[in-house]
Structure formats: structure tokens, C-alpha cells
Amino acid sequence: MRRKITIRVVNGLKPGETVWDETVKGFGVRRQKESVSYILKSRFKGRQKLVTIGRHGSPWTPEMARKRAQELLSLIARGIDPVALKREERARLSLDAVWKVFLDDHVSKLKPRTQQDYVHRYDRYIAPVLGSKALRDLDRDDVASLHRKLKDKPRTANYCLAILSKLMNWAEVKGYRPQNSNPVRGIRKYPENHRERFLSQAELAALSRALEEELQERNDVYVVAAIRLLILTGARLSEILTLKWQYVDLDCGLLLLPDSKTGKKTIVLNEAAQGVLRELPRQKGNPYVICGHKEGQHLVNLQKPWRRIRKRAGLEDVRIHDLRHTFASLAARKGGSLPRIGVLLGHSQIQTTQRYAHLIVDDVRQLADAVGNELKVIVADNGDPMEAEAGG
């Protein structure tokens, strides 16, 4: 199909459709599933070449792309390979420039929380050190230097390595860097000491009293219900705050989440959690379980009331996420296996649940000691156990 490529034509493209310009030979625009790109198809030394000029949007418009197509055709006429030129132009781009393309092409497809983590760590830690450096010049020493600068924040340092590694692998696939040139490869991550804070029965009782006082003084039933559900289900904060009534099946005692950090997830509700949900008032026109201050919206920030409640309970070192750890630790102490605990928490990998293994081992050791106390007659102090066995 040939016609002059305009904004109207671009906006009217259907997925998989390509339109060739009637004024500049070989200049075209095509829509894939979502994105629209300007292209140039030509011949160089008898071989067909297809060059992607750029993706529609900032900065590419039909007129800018048409002008660039004409420039490339002029270079071809002078014996310059447009594909090699494109590769060279990409190689000269800074890390910041490539990051913007990476954001649009890859990061935008990730879960919202992961997108926020990527952007925060790149802007806060990576860009100030490496952002202005040409992508092709970025080497292992540069990345290792950044990693060392963050050694006092081992988890952040390792997360930045992971982001850079993903970016570099993507850059290789897209032709921004040579294959197998990832400068992150071979850099050892710092050991991470995962903070484990479990609430004791006395601390849980103190928290329960604080929640009751909060309810009496402020009557914020949704804040209190959210915290109680976090304690009783081991769910993630985002899962409780964004929970809709349509995902709640009280007859079967289940939360049927269509999406979570690890994908589709089912949470089994104990009787206490079911009781919290049954008593919670529903707001007309609001689909969310934990209603926020804006009409029809869910509560978006639990941190401020949590700080107030934990101070009242004398638990100022306890994070909201520690409620999830507490649920898991109790499951381990009640005899839950690692795979079963992983299912309860919605872990996608058993390695994530492994942090609770020592709790299971501790309980098994206590059981072994109890059995050993009953059997210690076999190693009585008044004789050689082997002699006792032979004599008996």
C-alpha cells in the first residue's frame, strides 16, 4: 500500500500493517503489536537492506522520519552502508540515551512495582556515575567501580548489578553492543544479610491491643482490617491494599488473586481472616476491600498509620513486611514444610522460602532432644554402652 505517510495514516495503522510512502521510495511505517516504527528499505551493493529509523513518538514524527530516510538514501548513493552507519550511531549513544529506549521497550512491560524499583535505582545510583558514558565504552571496571561505591548497601549494589546486566543483555539483542560483551559478567555479588524479625506471642498481644485502641480512638476500620489481614494471611502489602471483593470467596475461604508479584495466586483464609472480612463494611460503588479516602479507590499508604500503631505497641523496629515473616515463622513452627510454606506465601522459587529452614530444623532438633532424653538410658554413665548392649 502506497500513500503519503502522515500522522493520520500512522494513527490508523492496524497491528501487522505496513504503509509505504508515495513520495520517498523505500520509506515506510509499520505497526507491530503496540509500537509504530519508521523504516527504510533499499539496496546496497546488490543486497537488500532494511533500516529502522526510529519509533513513532518523541522525537520521531512522519516529517522527521521522511527527512532521515532521504539522508540515508543519499548516503547509500555515496557508497555508505546504512546498516553499518546505524550500528555506529547506536554505539556512540550514552547509557542514559539507551536507558530511555530500554524503559519504553522492556521496563514498561514489567509489573508497576518493579518498574518503580528500576527507575528509582537507575536515577539514584546508576545514572550519576555511568549515565553520561558511551554505551560501547562501558566496561567491567566501570561497573565494578559502581558496585564498590555501594558496598555499604549490599542489597542495593546487587540490585543495580541485576538492572545493568538486564540492560546490557537487551542492548546486545537490539544491536547496541556486540554479542557476549556484558560487562557485568564475572562481578561477584555482595552477601546479603536478610533481616529476619518475627513477632513473639507477647508482641502480637501488644500489637492486638494497639489495634483495638486505634479503632476506638480513630475508628479507621480499613487501616486496622488491613493490618489484621496482613498478620492473618501472610500476604504482601500490595495484595491486601488492592484486594477487590470480586476476588474474595468466603464460602470456600479463599482469596483468588488474578495477579500478584509472582502471577496468579490463591490465598487460603483461616477462620480469623474470614471473620475480619465478614465484619468489614462495604462501600457502595467501591470495588476494594480496603477502602481509601478517595471515592471508589483503595487505601494507598499504610506506612503513616503503621508507624503510629507500632509506636503505641512498643514495636518501633517492626516493619510491615515483618508481619509476613511472622506468619511464615509460625507456619514453620507448626510443622509446615518449606514447599507448603512457599505455597502459603506465594513464592515462585523454593530458595525464597529457604530462609525459614532453620526454624524447621530448630523444631526438629527439639523433637530429637525430647526423644533422646527418653532413650538416654542406652548410654548410662555406669558402664560402656556396647557392654550394656552385649549383656542385655
Please provide the DSSP assignment of 258-324 as one string: S--TTSSEEEEPPHHHHHHHHHSPPPTT--BSSB-SSTT-B----HHHHHHHHHHHT-TT--THHHH
Dihedral angle of Cα 110, 116, 118, 122, to the nearest 10 degrees: 150
* pLDDT for 205: 93
Beta strands in the chain (DSSP E): 18-20, 27-31, 36-44, 47-55, 248-249, 254-257, 265-268
* pLDDT for 388: 42
Q: What mean pLDDT do residues 7-12 have?
A: 93
Q: Cell 546504512 appears where?
A: 82
Average pLDDT, the chain: 85
Phi/psi at 309 (nearest 5 deg)?
Answer: -70, -45
The full 3-state SS of 76-103, as one line of letters, equals HHCCCCHHHHHHHHHHHCEHHHHHHHHH
Q: Does the pLDDT of residue 391 top 70, yes or no?
A: no
**Domain boundaries for CATH 3.30.160.390 within the chain:** 7-92
Per-residue buried b or exposed e for 259-288, using 16+ beta carbons within 10 Å of the residue's own CB? ebeeeebebebeeebbebbeebeeeeebeb
* Segment 215-250, tens digit of pLDDT: 999 989 999 999 999 988 888 898 899 999 999 999
Phi/psi at 377 (nearest 5 deg)?
Answer: -60, -25
**Domain boundaries for CATH 1.10.443.10 within the chain:** 201-364
| 7-92 belongs to CATH 1.10.3720.10 | no
**The C-alpha cell that represents 370 in the structure block:** 525430647
Least confident among 10-19, 49-58, 257-266, 289-298: 257-266
Phi/psi at 8 (nearest 5 deg)?
Answer: -60, -40
Q: Is the peptide bond before 112 cis (omega within 30 degrees of 0)?
A: no
* pLDDT for 371: 60
* Segment 248-257, tens digit of pLDDT: 999 988 888 8
Percent pLDDT > 70 in the chain is 83
**Between 124 and 369, the higher pLDDT residue:** 124
**Domain boundaries for CATH 1.10.150 within the chain:** 95-174
CATH number of 201-364: 1.10.443.10
Q: Tell me, what amino acid is at 309? A: I
* pLDDT for 212: 94
What's the pLDDT band for 99 if we cut at 50, 70, 90?
Answer: very high
Give SS3 for 212: helix
- Name the fold adopted by 95-174: DNA polymerase; domain 1 (1.10.150)
Round to whole Å and give the CA distance between 146 and 159. Answer: 12
Q: Does the pLDDT of residue 390 top 60, yes or no?
A: no
* Segment 28-72, tens digit of pLDDT: 999 987 789 999 999 888 888 888 888 898 679 999 999 999 998
Q: What mean pLDDT do residues 379-390 have?
A: 48
What's the pLDDT band for 381 if we cut at 50, 70, 90?
Answer: low
- Is-contact 38 28, C-beta < 8 A? yes
- Is-contact 198 329, C-beta < 8 A? yes
In this prediction the pTM is 0.54
Q: Does the pLDDT of residue 376 top 70, yes or no?
A: no
